[in-house]
A = this chain, B = another copy of it.
Amino acid sequence: MELFLSQGFDETTVAQIAEAAQVSQMTFFRHFPTKDSVVFDDPYDPVIAGLVAAQDSALPAMERVRRGLLAAWSAMPGPADSAVRDKIGLIAGHPRLAAGIWENNRRTEDLLVKALVGTGVARLEARVAAGSCLGGVTAALLDWAAEPDGQDLRERMGAALALMGAPGDPCGPGGTVRRAR
């Protein structure tokens, strides 16, 4: 990460990484399947899926995912914002890496869909809800990283999820429930 941040991702070869780590190239690839994978490490998926599954099953799928993500972001310890911003900034500035975020999201999406379908939600509805919510938070995340000023990350995520709860958050606490299953 130091090398990536100082000279850029493409300008850093794995030979350099290996040398900096006092290790052979081969060893590098035994620890990281690809050079890209150095940048990605999100062990939060199971937590998120659990929190989504824990939401009131009477709510529409979209709302359950939304609230689950909200709960997840509130609960996360997370490293210092500046480190995260550096990393996300690096990713956001590099199309191929940015696409890689979605390779992660796809896994998260699959977990969420499984959790939802397990509690009686239709498959398409589950996919759309998961995909839509993840799309929203990811857009907000990339937008956050692009800003130099720097609002608090958790606040930002809360704001984004609130926006998706529009219009007027009719499904807020005690709000309308479309249909029970």
Contact = CB atoms under 8 A, between A and B. Distances in A.
Given A99-B99, A109-B139, A130-B139, 9 more contacts: A95-B106, A124-B143, A124-B156, A131-B135, A134-B135, A135-B136, A135-B138, A167-B170, A168-B178
A181 interface: no
A160 B124 contact: yes
Interface centre among A132, A163, A167, A176 (most CB of B within 10 A): A132
A170 B103 CA distance: 33
Contact of A99 (B100, B132, B177): B100
A61 B128 CA distance: 18
Contacts of A51: none
A135 B156 CA distance: 19
Interface centre among A60, A134, A167 (most CB of B within 10 A): A167
Q: Name A's interface SS.
A: helix
A102 to B, nearest CB: 4
Contact of A133 (B98, B132, B178): B132
Nearest to A102: B102
B95 A163 contact: no
Contact of A166 (B62, B127, B168): B62
